[in-house]
Amino acid sequence: MLTQNKQIAIVGAGPGGLTLARLLQLKGADVKVYERDVNKNARVQGSPLDMHEESGWAALRQANLVDEFNKNVRSGADKKIVVNEQAEVKFSGHGSGEGTGNKPAPPEIDRSALRKIFLESLQPDTVVWDSHFISMEAQNDGWLLHFKNGSSAYADVVIAADGANSKIRPYVTSIKAFYSGFTMVEINVDNAEKAIPHIYKLLNGGKVMAFGNGKCVLGGQKGNGGLGFYASFKPAENWAASSGIDFPDRLQVLAWFKKEYSEWSNIWYQLFENATPPVIPRPIYCMPLDQNWQALPNLTLLGDAAHVMPPFAGEGANTSMFDALELSECLTNAKYHTVQEAISAYEVSMRKRASVATRQSLENGERMHSEGALEKMLAIFVKK
């Protein structure tokens, strides 16, 4: 097996990195995961994830974690509410072609629960916390990794699972992401049942999608009793920096929303009035659909580090988990004679899959931010 007698370093303990660690350990590989978080509880996890049959679900099955997953499924989290800018319900149910007829809706799970499942499936001390990657240098046939806490570690093979702002990606390729045209303002509301009871009741544990005037608000229930929302629109790339808005100031952000979303109901104001700091502007970036590079013998990328894309197709976590599945199979497949051959086979397939998902994400984003977005989205959710 190609991984025999090799130390493998995975940088990043997101869904993709942890999935890969689990799958490689099942094949007997020696794996360490280096994660910048101080510990497993350091990061606030976002809205639930839905597992797609052909990607996230496939990875879970191969990881032998289906039973644990089913114990943590969020009942009702797959429910979707589509409303207009006045918060008038136009669709309520299980849509997007899933959960209709005889096909069940994709199961959903809190991000924190999914992370816990994978962490508990790994061998003790697999994850090295408080390991914020800074740089690395070639050493022997591998890499010497350096971390912010002053520590270093050697690995024969490095896999970058360190997200959209990957510090390892430049060691593989100089290709950079481009601005997709979309920016999302992230708002979180803790104890939402008391803070924003009307919207909390509207969601009823599920997700809401609001469309109007070329803009949208997307939100969902989180496992901690809070709600997470994104006000999504199409400004210039430097909007956040040039807007003059002090984003920690909820009243300034509310004033912006009232102006930018002037035709929207004041029911949405309570999101900003009760927002739990910080409110974060997030310009959305995307990798070129035709990106390409020469495979290296000891380094590769997965997930957002490889193919960051807009979130409008719900493919992020699912794609990264399938990356992990495919990469693990390539690295443990006897038909490849070298690690470089295995990495090359994985990267060719990964880039092709990512290009399809990225195109879908961009097209969905344009549809969701178009003038007729509500009608277009209802045509998808409401099956005639």
| CA angle in degrees (0–180, nearest 5) for 186-188-189 | 150
Q: In the chain, count of helices (H) and strands (E)? A: 13, 17
pLDDT tens column, 241-287: 999 999 999 999 999 999 999 999 999 999 999 999 889 999 999 99
Angle (CA) 223 120 159, round 5°: 95
Across 12-21, 35-44, 135-144, 226-235, least confident range: 35-44
Handedness of CA 196, 201, 203, 208 (dihedral sign): negative
What pLDDT digit, counting tens, does each position of 324-371 carry?
A: 999 999 999 999 999 999 999 999 999 999 999 999 999 999 999 999
Q: Tell me the Cα Rg of the chain.
A: 21
| pLDDT the model gives residue 297 | 97
Note the helical H segments in 245-338.
250-260, 269-273, 304-307, 316-331
Distance CA 233, CA 183 (A): 6
- Long-range CB contact pairs, 251-259, < 8 A, 24+: 253/185, 253/279, 257/185, 257/231
51 has pLDDT over 90: no
- Is the pLDDT at 48 greater than 60? The verdict is yes
- Is the predicted pLDDT of residue 104 greater than 70, yes or no? no
Mean pLDDT of the 135-147 span: 97
Q: Which pLDDT does position 174 carry in this prediction?
A: 97
Query: Which stretches of 332-372 are DSSP H helices?
Result: 339-368
Judged by phi (left if over 0) then psi (alpha if -120 to 50, else beta), residue 64 lies in left
What is the rounded distance in angstroms from the CA atom of residue 87 to the CA atom of residue 25?
Answer: 48
How does residue 97 score in pLDDT terms, banded at 50, 70 and 90?
very low
- By CB atoms closer than 10 A (0-12, 13-18, 19+), residue 241 is exposed
Separation between Cα atoms, residue 39 and residue 348, nearest integer Å: 34
The H-assigned helical ranges of 204-315 are: 239-242, 250-260, 269-273, 304-307
Most confident range (mean pLDDT) of 88-102, 224-238, 253-267 is: 253-267
Residue with the bigger pLDDT between 371 and 133: it is 133
Stronger pLDDT, 1 or 150, i.e. the higher one: 150
Contact 311, 220 (CB under 8 A): no
Q: State mean pLDDT over 22-48.
A: 88
Q: What does the DSSP assignment read for 129-192? A: -S--EEEEEEETTEEEEEETTS-EEEESEEEE---TT-SSGGGT-----EEEEEEEEEEEESSH
What's residue 44's pLDDT? 59
User: Does residue 177 carry a pLDDT above 90?
Assistant: yes
**How far lies 69's CA from each of 56, 109, 265, 297, in Å?**
11, 8, 39, 34
> pLDDT confidence of 313, banded at 50, 70, 90?
confident
- Tell me the two tokens of residue 71: 């114990």
Average of pLDDT values for 297-323? 94
pLDDT value of position 75: 65
pLDDT at position 96: 44
Task: Kindly report, residue by residue over 69-94, the tens digit of the pLDDT.
Answer: 988 887 666 678 999 999 999 998 75
* DSSP β-bridge partners for residue 146: 135, 152
Give yes or no for residue 1 having a pLDDT over 90. Answer: no
What's the length of the chain? 384
pLDDT tens-place string over residues 2-12: 999 999 999 99
Q: What value does the mean pLDDT take over residues 110-138?
A: 95
Task: Kindly report the number of other CB atoms within 10 A of residue 368's CB atom.
Answer: 21
